[in-house]
Amino acid sequence: VTVRERLAAPGPHFSVEFMPPRDDAEEAALWLAIRRLEPLRPAFVSVTYGAGGSRRDRTIRITERIAAETTLLPVAHLTAVGHSVAELRQVIGSYAAVGVRNILALRGDPPGDPTADWVAHPDGLHYAGELVALARSLGDFSVGVAAFPETHPRSPDAESDLRHFVAKMAAGADYAVTQMLFSAGDWVRLRDRAAAAGVGAPILPGIMPVTSLARLRRICELSGQRLPGDLADRLAAVDGDAAAGRAVGMEHAVEMARELLAEGAPGLHFYTFNRSKATLDVLAALDWAGPVPAAALSSTTTSGLLPGG
Ligand code: FAD
């Protein structure tokens, strides 16, 4: 099964992102999250690709374990940064060898200081679109890409960023996943601009409840997004009260998810940081249908995961 096929079934879908764990304790937490989310049948679960050899090997190992030991469909992220084309071919080959046929193709940021100048490997690729084409040339992979509703921080302007996004999709991407969103309107604008430029493939909005002002500031600093004023004000009003901050973050995420679904979002992609609770709470608040029999899922008339009333 590929993500392409999963997303072609009636939606809306939900999907989650995990990170390769750094030690045994983190790995145990990840597996707990996986086991708790598994019964809700996400369309796919993606595993990020870190900088440095050992983190990278862990991405391969975790995606392999998810494919072998769970009913979930793993998507392996892959970044072009720091790799020769020969190495990228080899990593894609390792994914294929363990049965992982779904790849999220990214350019990656410079390791260490993500704001440093981006320098291509002398025998490597320059842009994610080239990695999409490489993966597609190596076999029957379903490939996804990243999308930036607020424009990628390295882009000189929104027009060129959209043009490159459209080209990246045309290189063979089946779907895109956005950076963490704070407003449904940002997703609607990207979807509409992409559609006007001929992109019909699903663009999945990225969601994570943010539960403190400090965390929100840090996320925006790292991603180059503007600080969302309304959420920042709501979090500032409860600063120092962890439980109240959590309630604000959840409320904001649920409101945004409702708006996204009402606007026709094909799914919701949750940034989990390897925990299940926030995702499960948002889905519960949306009355997302619970576990369904596998037979219902294989039917073409229902995804089995329609948000109920
Ligand atoms: P690209 O699509 O290559 O775009 C980068 C910049 O180049 C943009 O400004 C774009 O407009 C421009 N551009 C693109 N094509 C061209 C062209 N042909 N000519 C000129 N300019 C062009 N990072 C990790 O290290 N590991 C991960 O697992 C990871 N997962 C992510 C998942 C998601 C959903 C998202 C949104 C991001 C993720 N990232 C990850 C971060 C990502 O690697 C960085 O944001 C990176 O800076 C951009 O990657 P990209 O694939 O969008 O790059």
Angular region, 118: left φ>0, alpha ψ -120 to 50, beta rest: beta
- Ligand 1 mean position, distance from CA 90 (Å): 21
Q: State pTM to two decimals.
A: 0.93
Which residue's CA is the nearest one to ligand 1's atom 53?
107
What span, in angstroms and rounded, lies between the C-alpha atoms of 137 and 185?
Answer: 36
- Which residues have CB under 6 Å of ligand 1? 48-49, 77, 79, 106-109, 127-129, 146, 152, 154-155, 161, 164, 168, 177, 179, 206
pLDDT of residue 56: 79
Structure tokens at 33: 């999250």
Residue nearest to atom 11 of ligand 1 (CA): 161
CA-nearest residue for atom 29, ligand 1, is 48
Q: Which of 157, 164, 168, 203 to mutate to test the pocket of ligand 1 (most atoms within 8 A of CB)?
A: 164
Task: Report the alpha-carbon distance of residue 297 to residue 38 in Å, rounded.
Answer: 14
Q: Which residue has the tokens 């090997």?
A: 57
Do 14 and 43 contact (CB within 8 A), yes or no? Answer: yes
Q: Is 29 exposed, middle or buried (0-12, 13-18, 19+ CB in 10 A)?
A: middle
**For ligand 1, what atom is nearest to the CA of residue 176?**
34
Which residue has the least CA distance to atom 14 on ligand 1? 164
Atom of ligand 1 nearest to the CA of 118: 47
Q: HEC string of the chain?
A: CCHHHHHHCCCCEEEEEECCCCCHHHHHHHHHHHHHHHHHCCCCEEECCCCCHHHHHHHHHHHHHHHHHCCCCEEEEEECCCCCHHHHHHHHHHHHHCCCCEEEEECCCCCCCCCCCCCCCCCCCCCHHHHHHHHHHHCCCEEEEEECCCCCCCCCCHHHHHHHHHHHHHCCCCEEEEEECCCHHHHHHHHHHHHHCCCCCCEEEEECCCCCHHHHHHHHHHHCCCCCHHHHHHHHCCCCCHHHHHHHHHHHHHHHHHHHHHCCCCEEEEECCCCCHHHHHHHHHCCECCCCCHHHHHCCCCCCCCECC
Which of 128, 124, 44 is closest to 90 using CA atoms?
Answer: 124
Q: Which of 127, 222, 223 to mutate to test the pocket of ligand 1 (most atoms within 8 A of CB)?
A: 127
Q: What distance in angstroms lies between residue 153's CA and the mean position of ligand 1's atoms?
A: 10
**Longest alpha-carbon distance in the chain:** 55
Cβ within 8 Å of residue 285, ≥6 positions away: 250, 254
Query: CA–CA separation, 19 vs 297, rounded Å?
Result: 27
Residue minimizing CA distance to atom 22 of ligand 1: 164
- Give me the pLDDT at residue 93, please: 95
With a CB cutoff of 8 Å and minimum separation 6, the contacts of 298 are none
**Dist CA 145 CA 168 (whole Å):** 8
Q: What is the pLDDT along the chain (309 residues), one digit of tens a residue?
A: 999 999 999 999 999 999 999 999 999 999 999 999 999 999 999 999 987 666 778 899 999 999 999 999 999 999 999 999 999 999 999 999 989 999 999 999 998 887 789 999 999 999 999 999 999 999 999 999 999 999 999 999 999 999 999 999 999 999 999 999 999 999 999 999 999 999 999 999 999 999 999 999 999 998 889 999 999 999 999 999 999 999 999 999 999 999 999 999 999 999 999 999 999 999 999 999 744 434 444 433 333 333 332
Is 17 among the residues known to form the active site? yes
Nearest CA to ligand 1 atom 2: 128
Position 52 scores a pLDDT of 66
Tell me, what's the pLDDT at 44? Answer: 98
Distance 103 CA to ligand 1 centre (A): 14
Residue-level pLDDT at 115:
79
Atom of ligand 1 nearest to the CA of 49: 28
Taking the CA of residue 78 as reference, the ligand 1 atom at the shortest distance is: 28
Ligand 1 atom, smallest distance to 47 CA: 28
pLDDT of amino acid 53 = 64
Give residues with Cβ within 8 angstroms of 205, minimum separation 6: 178, 181, 184, 187, 260, 265, 268, 269
The pLDDT value recorded for residue 190 is: 98
